[in-house]
Amino acid sequence: MKKVSTLKVMALMCAVPFFVNGQSASRLQVRNSQAEKLVKVAPGSEIAAMPMTTAATVRNISATAKRSAAATIVGSTTYDLQSNGGVGRRVISYTDGKVTVAWTGSTDPGTTWPDRGGFANSYNGTAWGASPAARVESKRTGWPNIEAITGGEIMLSHVNAVTTNTGAGTTWGTTRDAGEFRGLTWGRAAASGNNVHYIISTSAGSDGFLAPVFYGRSTNGGTSFDTVSANFAVAAGYDTVNHAGDVGADSYEIAARGNVVAIAIAGTTEDVVLLKSTDNGTTWTRTVIREFPIKKYVGGITDINNDTVADTLLGTTGNISVVIDNQNVVHVVWCDLLVFDPDGAGLNVFLTATSDYMNYWNDADKNIVEVPVLLDKDNNGLFDSGSAFTGGGTIRYGNSGFSLNPQLSVGSAGTAWADRIFLTYAAVAENDTNDVGVDFRSIFVTGTPNRGQDWYEIVDVSQTQNVENVFVSTSREVGADGMIHMIWQQDFEPGNAVQGQHPAGPSDILYNAFDAKTLKLNVSNTKKLDAAIVAFPNPTSDVANFSITLNNASKAELKLVNMLGQTVRTMNVDLNAGANKVSVNVSDLTAGLYTMVLTSNGKSATEKIMVK
């Protein structure tokens, strides 16, 4: 039931290894940008779109396929589309060692999946239950969210389904058809005690929006929900004057801690927005984390400077996650893409150019930090992708490119890792392709101990070869055991059968507990230069100017690096304390996206520039 859109999917660049600050992303040198920089990839790029090709849909399972050794198979499904964007919360971990997990499942070998619904399994502290043979709900549904509530657990699923039990491993009760949800779909849930908060979406217009997010609250463990509508967002300033509300399926997430509730929204051509309540969902405050350059975009040529030339703009893939720490600070992470409509005939979505990183932000510091997410496993200084392109054809999951399915977890209060933020996600694995050259994905973990200032080295959790790992979901908190409890879907083919990308067949659901205490701080992340850099004009075709503001005078090296990681300009400059201007001739450079790397005393800062 994926939302049908008018997006024409394109691939922006072909066969290019992605780099960060001239180093491979595995070095994890964070690229900083200020929140007020609304367009990191500026208008006027005029990059020729390359038509999407289609890889072969049938292949033989490789004899070298390597499954996850540390993970446990807890179930399976023949319905292999777990989400259209980010993944809901489908893991509950308890202090007594018990764990409950859920996923969208089916046992039907065909292509109609009449028994589709929320499947669940539990760990009793010693062993997992048998792989479930039937859904929890009493009707066809899916997209389950599970939360612990007072005296049990609740599963909220697609199209009005609410089911509860009395605790991990107990029998699920009769599904309530919650009419207050109005038949809306693709829900996300969060609970604190018996307060259950639920957001849902629709592919149809409502309340003046194209596809808005609705909110409902239960104060009785899901027995009933308050009025379910988009009015909460309007009251917070998410209005029809500034927002088209074209959010779409699974492009939002919710978290709750006590009376604090946080909703993060990231439609493809919408602002990235945080809606936060400190009174249990009664009133809300809107924070625009990053604006989409065109207010209330509803289609048409993407021209933001009225020069009649279409501009390439920064949007999102709809993959977003949110968590609230013990100080009630909200942390958000999301994935980017580029959008471009040259003639008003439809939006081109460029999948690769901005998917080598994810964006991290919190509402205390309010800085957007770009976190590299690709792992250079062979340490050759390149990210080696086997595909002619990545992010199109049979390997797309929604609008995702290299990276997708971010999940944030936070260290529990009273632990040595309290308020540390951990990021688990799926991403393309280096040097791991099928027999027609399409990349497989793996599950990775990184994190930050200090709100994005420093980051841990990336760890490959799944440790597979010729196996696809995707749709990861984690527990919200990392408790006294220091473990990130997670599940993901695994099979032998990139893409999914539901959308016809490969033949139907069973996929396994894997569980793993990753020891977050083993994460090591990446030394390179402590070497960030305290500098504000702005490129202008951006884009440019002849001279690139960089406004550089420093606290102290310094000798510095300036490098211009292309998307292949090649340094195309180098110059040494003497910078004064305060404002400086440095100009670079780029008239002979190939059109495309470049990164300016400013290094002084072993520390670096970056800025992007588009050459047209």
Q: Which two tokens stand for residue 80?
A: 């292999």
Rounded Cα gap, residues 369 and 362, in angstroms: 10
Do the beta carbons of residue 187 and residue 198 sit within 8 Å?
Answer: yes
Rounded Cα gap, residues 99 and 12, in angstroms: 42
Of 305, 360, 357, residue with least CA distance to 331: 360
pLDDT of residue 354: 56
Rounded Cα gap, residues 184 and 574, in angstroms: 59
Calculated CA dihedral for residues 137, 143, 144, 145, nearest 10 degrees: -150
Neighbours of 54 (CB within 10 A): 9
Do the beta carbons of residue 153 and residue 90 sit within 8 Å?
Answer: no
- Report if pTM > 0.95: no
> For the chain, which domains are there?
17-525 (2.120.10.10), 529-611 (2.60.40.1930)
Neighbours of 124 (CB within 10 A): 13
pLDDT of residue 397: 76
pLDDT of residue 242: 82
CA 428 to chain centre: 14
Give the H/E segment covering residue 585: strand 578-585
Prior bond of 537 cis (ω within 30°):
yes
Give the H/E segment covering residue 235: helix 231-235
Residue 234 is given by DSSP the state H
Q: Which two tokens stand for residue 171?
A: 């029998």
- Blockwise average pLDDT, block size 10, the chain, 612 residues: 29 26 25 25 32 28 53 95 93 97 96 96 96 96 97 96 97 95 91 96 78 92 92 88 85 97 94 96 95 88 83 88 97 90 78 72 91 81 58 56 91 94 93 81 93 88 92 97 96 86 89 93 60 86 90 89 75 91 91 83 79 86
Instruction: Order across the sheet with 603-611: list the strands.
Output: 567-575, 554-561, 592-600, 603-611
Neighbours of 370 (CB within 10 A): 21
Rounded Cα gap, residues 505 and 76, in angstroms: 10
Of 378, 578, 509, 516, residue with least CA distance to 90: 509
